[in-house]
Chain A
């Protein structure tokens, strides 16, 4: 087991020597991977920031529950107790039709005698603040409330948040597609580089095969090279994102006075940054494995 790890360490050493002995071209490869991954990562950053805003708004979403005019007080009490039992309701506020009518009159400076309105046209209403934005839970609550006797209409006052959510969802799908295409591009670029490396190490591969090396032994340094490319590329992506956030936020603060507000971008979390590095390393490893395997098969000497 120790020898197995020793062998991996040797392969890693050989890969490091290959990367640093051609540092110029390795740096170019880091930049290619870094910049290519920057595009979907910056998209993810924007979607994450906008999602946070929409999530905050979502907690303020309200249901307006309008009751029938003929409703009796015991029915209102029953609805109140039903609302109190629901776990997804943060708070409820009951607005009686009399209070609402008084407020409306004072706000609009209306006199019933002047307007010719003989009776209060407003119904009793509950205004409900929700502590969730889960569509399924809200729909269940609405359908349950609709079945209660005395309830006339229910309005969900977060339609635009819903639209924003839908746009963000579409953006996420777009980013996923863009990311997938760019990953394919990266695999092709890294594969080609590794394929060229196998050609420059043709003698070494042939000699190793002749003296009993397995294909996995020969492939190992190339795979570690791919992993190092991925690591370097991932780090460049994260550094570029940090730099872009800094520049954007500084510009946003400078324009605060002109725009009357700021939009500060928050950095991705450590787990998301780690995710970018892992994805980059996996792309590098997969691409180099694929390219090295194909090339080494071509050098097969057992005929």
Chain B
């Protein structure tokens, strides 16, 4: 019995090392979204400049869609933009945009020069709607099912591999469910 007690410190160490090892492959700064499984928050935003119609929460019903939060001052968004273009061309899923704390003219210029993958693009200069989505950085992308329920959130830019290995399969899955 006493011998067991003396083995306790080693035992605790082993547990700690396992914990730390697991921890090396986690990201402590990534904040999971509490909105997963909840409906898209009620909102209504004007479109960006003259390039798209207004965006409201009702637009998310009836089909699977993704909401991409972006801004012209966001550097990773520049890498993400071509991937979104490609995705838009595949016509797999409806892509909505949320222009976050941006200057309207810069946003319009961006879309004109780089292309516009968004079916609709909401203009949120104060970030008030984004706050309700729990946005804390740019870019972020939400996946919403046809009932308007948020199903997933990607933090950081969408890459080609992320889109093909995770996003598109998820979208397909959600589209099956709604049939």
Q: Is chain B a partner of chain A in the same complex?
A: no
Chain A residues near B (Cβ < 8 Å): none
